[in-house]
Structure 1
Amino acid sequence: MPGSADSTDSAAASGKSGIELAREALAQAKADALKRGTLPGQGNKRKNTKLIRVREPGRGGDPKQFGTAIRELLASRGWEQRAAVGGVFGNWAGIVGPDLAEHTRPDHFEDGVLTIAADSTTWATQLRLLSSTLVRRLNEELGHGTVRRVKVVGPSTGPRRTGAWRVR
């Protein structure tokens, strides 16, 4: 490496150690950066630039309580109904009772139809019998007309086999 041999020869000729040469190079770099108006390690940022804060429309004033801020956010984005339905999913046992909640679960809500999955056909039948009461109870929680219908699905089983084991 010819470049490294030249630099060691010039360092030996000047009588300065590697640390002293590094300090001089750093001091020179700082001086050059100061002339350009920047500081080392700052990239191309100028020393005299000011930060300009741009306020978003509708922001400002006093801080709000968390609950109020969340309600306003949900209303502005149109998420009120989805959040309420999510609350029903989270509080299913409190709405239908622990016995029914142990064997059923809300599965899907779309266009006013709440789909509920039951773990047996017996519980699915029980839930179908209670569907009008359940719609009324859910609308008390969510607001009138939110749930129009309850669709109950039982456990999914595969196709039945034909053959010797079939009862005729």
Structure 2
Amino acid sequence: MSGDAQSSASASDGLEGLSGYELARKALEQARAQGKVVGKGKASPVRRGAAGGRTRKRWSGPGPDGRDPQLLGVLTGRLANDRGWKPRIGEGTVFARWPDIVGEEISAHATPTSLLNGIMQVQAESTAWATQLRYVQAQILAKIAAAVGDGVVTSLRITGPKPPSWRKGERHISGRGPRDTYG
């Protein structure tokens, strides 16, 4: 009796005598028809928007989009701008990249010591180097501006080496100090 029930069910669907490929195609058509009834004919998924209304899910097109993967440098730059860190990052970049910015020869004889309100203190190893750096101060400022941007360093204060101090302790007597040390 089970064979009769099976043949009557397949005869009622109109699938009797169809090959495997035709059976699969017929089943796919039936599934698509049922899917349109369930989804009310909409092909793309539906999600709730911010206002509670229904919005269609939008797919990214061929051009750049805000949802596309971003470079790490772009993201950190955007974060620094949003948080107001840009000036401090520029100051740190000047100190970190000093040999790259001014060149190996100058960086071997002069080092930046501080940067406050756009004025950078640079200490040279000798008074001769300090004098030479004062002559090329405009070029150094241009190189710094090209590397980290305008306004980070507005001027340079170049000093020579510090002379030895003869002052020892809290109490001392004013004067030139010992004069017989240098012969």
Normalising by structure 2, what TM-score?
A: 0.51
Structure 1 gaps of 5+ residues are 1-60
Structure number with larger C-alpha Rg: 2
Structure 2 gaps of 5+ residues are 1-66, 167-176
Residue aligning to 1:163:
179
Report how many aligned residue pairs link the two structures: 108
Distance (Å, rounded) in 1 between the aligned partners of 2:93 and 2:152: 13
* Counterpart mapping for 1:99-118 below 5 A: 99-118=105-124
* Counterpart mapping for 1:121-140 below 5 A: 121-140=127-146
Deviation at 1:62, TM superposition (A): 6.5
- For the residue of structure 2 that corresponds to 1:105, the secondary structure is strand
* Counterpart mapping for 1:6-155 below 5 A: 64-155=70-161
Residue aligning to 2:21:
none
Task: Considering fraction of residues, name the structure with more helix.
Answer: 1
Normalising by structure 1, what TM-score?
A: 0.55
Report which stretch shifted further, 106-115 or 61-70. Answer: 61-70
Counterpart contact for 1:96–1:134, Cα < 8 Å: yes
Distance (Å, rounded) in 2 between the aligned partners of 1:164 and 1:84: 48
Report which stretch shifted further, 129-138 or 95-104. Answer: 129-138
CA spacing shift, 1:70–1:128, aligned 2, 3 Å:
same
Deviation at 1:162, TM superposition (A): 3.3
Give RMSD over aligned pairs: 2.4
Amino acid at match of 1:78: G
Amino acid at match of 1:92: W
Identity of aligned residues (%): 30
